[in-house]
Structure 1
Amino acid sequence: MIPGVEALLWGVAALMITAVLAVTLSRRSTATGLIYLITLAVCGFLLGIALWCLVLRPTDVTSTTLPVGLPWIGAHFRLDALSAFFLVVVNLGGALSSLYGLGYGRHESAPHRVLPFFPAFLAGMNLVVMADDAFTFLLSWEFMSLASWALVIAHHREPANTRAGYIYLVMASFGTLALLLAFGLLAGPAGNYTFEVMRASSPPAPLIATIVLILMLLGAGSKAGLVPLHVWLPLAHPAAPSHVSALMSGVMTKVAVYGFIRVLFDLLGPPTWWSSVVVLVLGSATAVLGILYALMESDLKRLLAYSTIENIGIIFVSLGLALAFQANGMGWPAALALTAALFHALNHSFFKSLLFFGAGAVLSATGERNMEKLGGLIHRMPVTSFVFLVGCVAISALPPFNGFASEWLIFQAILLSPDLPQWGLKVLVPAAGGMLALSAALVAACFVKAFGITFLGRPRSEAVDRAHEVDRYSLTAMAALAALCLLAGILPGFVIDGLSPVTQALIGGRMPTQISQPWLSIVPIAESRSSYNGLLVFVFITISASIAVYVIHRFASHELRRGPAWGCGFPDMPPDAQYTATSFAQPIRRVFGTFAFRAKETVKMTPPGDISPARLDVETHDVIWEALYDPITGWLEYATLKLNRLQFLTIRRYLTLVFGSLVTLLLVVALWL
């Protein structure tokens, strides 16, 4: 028997049972290990089925209907190449987060607030990816959102976490409303809520398609973190436990990307070229603003959360390119752009989970996530420092790691834009490419700061002096992700070929077969145009670095002299005199901060003879929050205060209000008919 959607649903049922079991056992000392061990086994089972279907049965489509949900409709579930790929992302992240939780969970102060919702969160994400009708999709989406919200407010006694949970819940509700309206328009007046019927229906009118695109950008984009709908993400991801942050940032945002791809590339019909313009603009703006916000941060987990926004922008730029090429009937470039988007989604789940695991290890060892109080951890946590460095190099898109491979594919797709017939796209796509190039440079600076301030230099606090390496479960999970970052970078052809069934099913095209290329090179279109070989680059870097190390130690080590570091005439500079995260970002803040953050620096210099210290105050503003969300909050508060008077009316006024509402409703119905 070939495993399919039924076996996956049994795995989801096992996760739900695990959640119920966690409720009964969560206050026992053995509960943490047991629950995470079960979720590790179940996610491994689901991962195996998804890989089997994606690699060995890529063209098979299995579906089933359960007698639950809406009457006479039921709950429809489907497994195809697209859902199989995202099930791999979800369950690989779930399995490694469970492995990490076996060690990290021992430090959890309130395990009864985490354990029941962790498997439920995983179950919700699996159900979203398998759902094959609008009702099941929305129900699973809300279940996923509520389970993750409960994990965000697990440490609810901290006011910042409560605020983060509130904003997350409001934005999640707004996103679900937008998705509900989008599926309502796709279903039409006949109410055909199954994806199969939507897929077989004639394409909607241009106006309806435009509204659906906007609603999907609002619904899926708010969950993914598109600017300006990103405001919940840098609040919620740091508030959650670190292995949950890895799931939310590395996996849940990809479930939102899945929803966008499912509707735009599968259910909505052929795209128009101008629909890609909106996606390209939002994606490129998200990429640049996300990394600029990350550069300004000194909180390690908030920095990583903002970095997620930047990577979501990169993915949406590539999806916008795929829409543009597909609208113009350019099959191979569309397949290249879509493959690059999916590849980067997979890569981001690898290195962002690794980085959040590393941040969690630092938090467990020191109790700090403020980089201004860290430093020197490379001597106390050498393994964590090494794997975190791998994650920093991968997210900075440096070869031979995986981030470079996927971003290189995106730039190869951008280089094909001169073949597009529309002049608007001929101008916009290179501009988006320039924005991505700028964000790539800023990412490198950002993660030089993140690694250097956190792990290098001298300790800035006593907590760092007491730090030690974390448990073996956490280290194993981080090492596995670091290995995946390297393997996907030096052998990207296997990943690209694994994604070809997805692009074939969605746009009717695929990239050339990569495994058959000499020396395991990857060739996006044709070898005469461009190619890349991650394995040879890895071998070259390894050999050249080894030779450099040998030459230095063989011929220069005996010439080495040791002495005190120069400190402007002071014999022993204190750790406070080191570069900080704020000072590291100062040049970039002065270049971009005026328009992006309305940054303002105030310098107070003491007069001659005054021994009091000088002072530099930096003031930054969240322009999007202040320009968009603050006015909305004010309007809502004003409206609720005015409407609050309704509960103090007399009976005569209540009857008058009811009568007036009834007359108005009847008039509307009469005019409508």
Structure 2
Amino acid sequence: MTAVALCLAAVATLLALALAGGFVAATSFGRALVYGGTLALSLLVLLVAGDALLVGAAGETLMLPLGLPWVGARFHVDPLSAFFLVVVSLAAAAASLYALGYGRHERDPGRVLPFFPAFLAGMILVLVAADAYTFLLSWEFMSLASWALVMAHHREEQNARAAYVYLVMASFGTLALLVAFALLAGPDGHYAFAAMRAAPPAAGAATLAFLAALVGAGSKAGLAPLHVWLPLAHPAAPSHVSAMMSGAMTKVAVYAFIRIAFDLAGSPDWRLAIPLLIVGAASGIIGVLQALMDNDLKRVLAYSTIENIGLVFVGLGFAYAFRAAGFPAAAALAMTAALLHAFNHAVFKSLLFFGAGAVLSATGERRLDKLGGLLNRMPATGLFMLVGAAAISALPPLNGFVSEWMILQSVLLSPSFPQWTLKILAPAVGAGVALTAALAAACFVRAFGIPFLGRPRSEAAERAGEVDRFSLAAMAVLAALCLVAGLFPGQAIDALAAATDLAVGAHMPSQSSMPWLSIAPVAASRSSYNGLLVGVFILMSATTASTIIHRFASGAVRRAPAWDCGFPDSSPSTQYSGESFSQPIRRVFGRIAFVVEERIDMPRPGETRPARLELRLGDRIWNTLYRPLIVAVERAAVQLNRLQFLTIRQYLGVVFGALVALLVVLATWP
């Protein structure tokens, strides 16, 4: 069987699992059947897609008599879709393995098991769709399945609100993609991607299609200012679903944008790279600042997804600009960096969501200030979370460093742009990427240190214990991938050659053949990196320092109380909290990026009551963009509600007026 046929067979089996999950959800057998079956099918798709990616040749197009009679449903696997199938199936396999243990704690499995395989099936269908009708139908199916998973714990008011906001934004994104495909189809109405590719639209239509794709795919990916649903929906879903949404579904949105903007929209226009770079850099800064301020562990990870998706779109912006300027080697570097960061984010963000789920199942708490001291009680989870935190902070020799370093290498090539607008904008975007990386490191020092170090801040944290073996195995696999992809990045870069070639018409030179497993994105004389040597150096330095300290330092044992900063109080409340950690950054950026309200209640001299600090953080984008829109829609709905109470004569008048208006439009249509 061909790759596309195997993928469709996996989709059919996943839908059968979803149907079976509705009948056996209440049993342990049902959990094993659904998650075990999803794990096996994910591994099958991973192998098939990996083979298609490495071979690099486009397979056949399979057409099925489904959907509209004169359109049909076309499916195809090329290197670009194969790469994203690898990302999605890897994240799904890890989530399925994790859910075999984590699913035991699910309060309402009947609302999760039927939709989990359906969600994966929808993502696979989007990636193999080869015409606009099938793509949009699969996109909506993916959105509705994920919405049902967000609504799994629907009795919680915040979850119902999150699901509603997510559904509205998903519908808005689908509408934008519908407009993009309508513009690409042209007057002849060719829905197949091959026909769109063969007859690219005019410049004006291509520009509108590009912007519509940016809005439609960006809303699903979590680009600012379309990100408002993401920090609500991702924490509301079960943790393995949160990992799938953050690690896999956002990458499907990235695929949708690449497919439209780089493959179907015709020749690139350098001016379109400007909004792409600005939105990407702004998303990175806004996402990491929001993550630094929040006190909910899962919401911190959700905001961090906005940051990393912003970095991916920065790479895509540089790839688009270099391609328009006629620099294929630089475009290949930027596109490779974007794709590699998409893969890396899927790995370490899934790992971090698994760790957050382990903390939640062990303690029942997600708030940072209710945790603490978990490293002593959950050592394996703490170790894996530390690896994920270091990887997402772009620390060598882990995988996050490689892709962010390559994005910065793309920035260093920006002086070659012939347009002064891009020459000026590119360094500013590079500074934004550097600021984002620095703030991300501070964010995950806080996100790891507050829950895992120090003393327990609650009884729940004090009673915590290690989680099950399935959850630990899933985290161990992803932690190992973070290390392997960081130590041997050349192999990962070479694996992306076919996908990069399809997107920008060029790929980076072979990196695997370089000596000492180094990589040189531009040239060995300009920049190079060797993850293996860096890792060996770090290991040898740490081992040497530890040996010298233990061998030559004083052998005397001295026991004394820990330094308490002059306040001998053993209460955990004297420790650094999440709010106190982020206070300096909040004071610097709070008035710009947030709506910050601080109320300090100081007791008068002689009063024994404690001082109190009340802190309220608001989203400036929500307050300035979405809240007025919601108010306007509500007012319009109230006014339009009067149409329900018209008389029959008034209804006939409205219909007659609408008919006259349509006839006028048709008569004046050019």
- TM > 0.5 fold call: yes
List runs of 5+ in structure 2 lacking aligned partners: none
Alpha-carbon distance, 1:25 to partner:
1.2
Which residue of 205, 208, 211 corresponds with 2:205? 208
Matched to 1:77, the amino acid is: F
Which residue of 655, 658, 662 corresponds with 2:655? 658
Which residue of 91, 100, 106 corresponds with 2:98? 100
Counterpart for residue 384 of structure 1 = 381
Counterpart for residue 547 of structure 1 = 544
Could you tell me whether the CA contact under 8 Å between 2:258 and 2:503 is conserved in 1?
no
Alpha-carbon distance, 1:660 to partner:
1.9
Could you tell me whether the CA contact under 8 Å between 1:185 and 1:208 is conserved in 2?
yes
Could you tell me whether the CA contact under 8 Å between 1:512 and 1:525 is conserved in 2?
no
- What is the distance in 1 between the residues matched to 2:255 and 2:267? 18
Which residue of 181, 187, 190 corresponds with 2:188? 190
- What is the distance in 1 between the residues matched to 2:525 and 2:178? 47
Counterpart for residue 497 of structure 2 = 500
Quote the sequence identity (%): 62
Counterpart for residue 439 of structure 1 = 436
- What is the distance in 1 between the residues matched to 2:566 and 2:288? 37
Residues 302-335 of structure 1, C-alpha deviation per residue, up to 9 Å, x if partnerless?
A: 0000000000000000000001100011010000
Counterpart for residue 75 of structure 1 = 73
Answering whether residue 86 of structure 2 is matched by residue 88 of structure 1, we say: yes
Please identify, of 448-457 and 643-652, the stretch whose mean Cα deviation from structure 2 is larger.
643-652
Which residue of 290, 293, 315 corresponds with 1:293? 290
Residues 47-69 of structure 1, C-alpha deviation per residue, up to 9 Å, x if partnerless?
A: 110111112x2123322101101
- Secondary structure of the 2:509 match is coil
Which residue of 452, 465, 469 corresponds with 2:466? 469
- Secondary structure of the 2:57 match is coil
- Secondary structure of the 1:558 match is coil
Pairing of 1:174-573 with structure 2 (within 5 A): 174-201=172-199, 203-556=200-553, 558-567=555-564, 569-573=566-570
Counterpart for residue 12 of structure 2 = 13
- What is the distance in 2 between the residues matched to 1:103 and 1:668? 61
Counterpart for residue 123 of structure 1 = 121
Could you tell me whether the CA contact under 8 Å between 2:518 and 2:530 is conserved in 1?
yes
- Secondary structure of the 1:79 match is coil
Answering whether residue 634 of structure 2 is matched by residue 637 of structure 1, we say: yes
- Secondary structure of the 1:653 match is helix
Matched to 2:155, the amino acid is: R
Alpha-carbon distance, 1:590 to partner:
0.2
Matched to 1:363, the amino acid is: L
Residues 509-528 of structure 1, C-alpha deviation per residue, up to 9 Å, x if partnerless?
A: 11110010000000112111
Matched to 1:329, the amino acid is: G
- What is the distance in 1 between the residues matched to 2:132 and 2:557? 69
- Secondary structure of the 2:536 match is helix
Could you tell me whether the CA contact under 8 Å between 1:65 and 1:76 is conserved in 2?
yes
- What is the distance in 1 between the residues matched to 2:36 and 2:590? 46
Residues 582-637 of structure 1, C-alpha deviation per residue, up to 9 Å, x if partnerless?
A: 11000000000011113233333223222221222223221000100001100110
Could you tell me whether the CA contact under 8 Å between 1:594 and 1:600 is conserved in 2?
no
Alpha-carbon distance, 1:567 to partner:
3.3
Counterpart for residue 156 of structure 2 = 158
Alpha-carbon distance, 1:654 to partner:
1.4
Distance verdict in 2 for CA 1:349–1:229, change over 3 Å: same
Alpha-carbon distance, 1:172 to partner:
0.1
Residues 122-168 of structure 1, C-alpha deviation per residue, up to 9 Å, x if partnerless?
A: 00000000000000000000000000000000000000000000000
Could you tell me whether the CA contact under 8 Å between 1:129 and 1:255 is conserved in 2?
yes
- What is the distance in 1 between the residues matched to 2:321 and 2:411? 11
Counterpart for residue 603 of structure 1 = 600
Matched to 2:621, the amino acid is: I
Alpha-carbon distance, 1:560 to partner:
4.7
Distance verdict in 2 for CA 1:15–1:612, change over 3 Å: same
Counterpart for residue 148 of structure 1 = 146
Distance verdict in 2 for CA 1:406–1:553, change over 3 Å: same
Please identify, of 223-232 and 598-607, the stretch whose mean Cα deviation from structure 2 is larger.
598-607
- What is the distance in 1 between the residues matched to 2:566 and 2:267? 70
Residues 188-230 of structure 1, C-alpha deviation per residue, up to 9 Å, x if partnerless?
A: 11100100000111x3222212211111111000000000000
Matched to 2:547, the amino acid is: Y
Counterpart for residue 22 of structure 1 = 21
- Secondary structure of the 1:154 match is helix
- What is the distance in 2 between the residues matched to 1:570 and 1:403? 39
- What is the distance in 1 between the residues matched to 2:182 and 2:206? 12
- What is the distance in 2 between the residues matched to 1:177 and 1:314? 25
Alpha-carbon distance, 1:503 to partner:
1.4
Matched to 1:121, the amino acid is: F
Could you tell me whether the CA contact under 8 Å between 2:457 and 2:572 is conserved in 1?
yes
Could you tell me whether the CA contact under 8 Å between 2:319 and 2:504 is conserved in 1?
no
- Secondary structure of the 1:620 match is strand
List runs of 5+ in structure 1 lacking aligned partners: none
Please identify, of 42-51 and 560-569, the stretch whose mean Cα deviation from structure 2 is larger.
560-569
Moved over 6 A (4+): none
Residues 522-576 of structure 1, C-alpha deviation per residue, up to 9 Å, x if partnerless?
A: 0112111110000000111111111111222223362452212343554432001
Counterpart for residue 612 of structure 2 = 615
- Secondary structure of the 1:601 match is strand
Counterpart for residue 168 of structure 2 = 170
Could you tell me whether the CA contact under 8 Å between 1:284 and 1:435 is conserved in 2?
yes
Counterpart for residue 37 of structure 2 = 38
- What is the distance in 2 between the residues matched to 1:297 and 1:557? 44
- What is the distance in 1 between the residues matched to 2:359 and 2:616? 28
Residues 245-264 of structure 1, C-alpha deviation per residue, up to 9 Å, x if partnerless?
A: 00000110000000000011
Pairing of 1:582-597 with structure 2 (within 5 A): 582-597=579-594
- What is the distance in 2 between the residues matched to 1:466 and 1:317? 44
Matched to 1:86, the amino acid is: F
- What is the distance in 2 between the residues matched to 1:382 and 1:568? 27
Counterpart for residue 52 of structure 2 = 53
Could you tell me whether the CA contact under 8 Å between 1:377 and 1:456 is conserved in 2?
yes
- What is the distance in 2 between the residues matched to 1:25 and 1:573? 50
- Secondary structure of the 1:616 match is strand
- Secondary structure of the 1:153 match is helix
Matched to 2:189, the amino acid is: G
- Count of equivalent residues: 670
Could you tell me whether the CA contact under 8 Å between 1:284 and 1:317 is conserved in 2?
yes
- Secondary structure of the 2:555 match is helix
Could you tell me whether the CA contact under 8 Å between 1:228 and 1:624 is conserved in 2?
yes
- What is the distance in 2 between the residues matched to 1:560 and 1:177? 69
Instruction: Name the Cα RMSD after superposition.
Output: 1.1
- What is the distance in 1 between the residues matched to 2:641 and 2:568? 68
Could you tell me whether the CA contact under 8 Å between 1:603 and 1:617 is conserved in 2?
yes
Matched to 1:348, the amino acid is: H
- What is the distance in 1 between the residues matched to 2:484 and 2:226? 34
- Secondary structure of the 2:613 match is strand
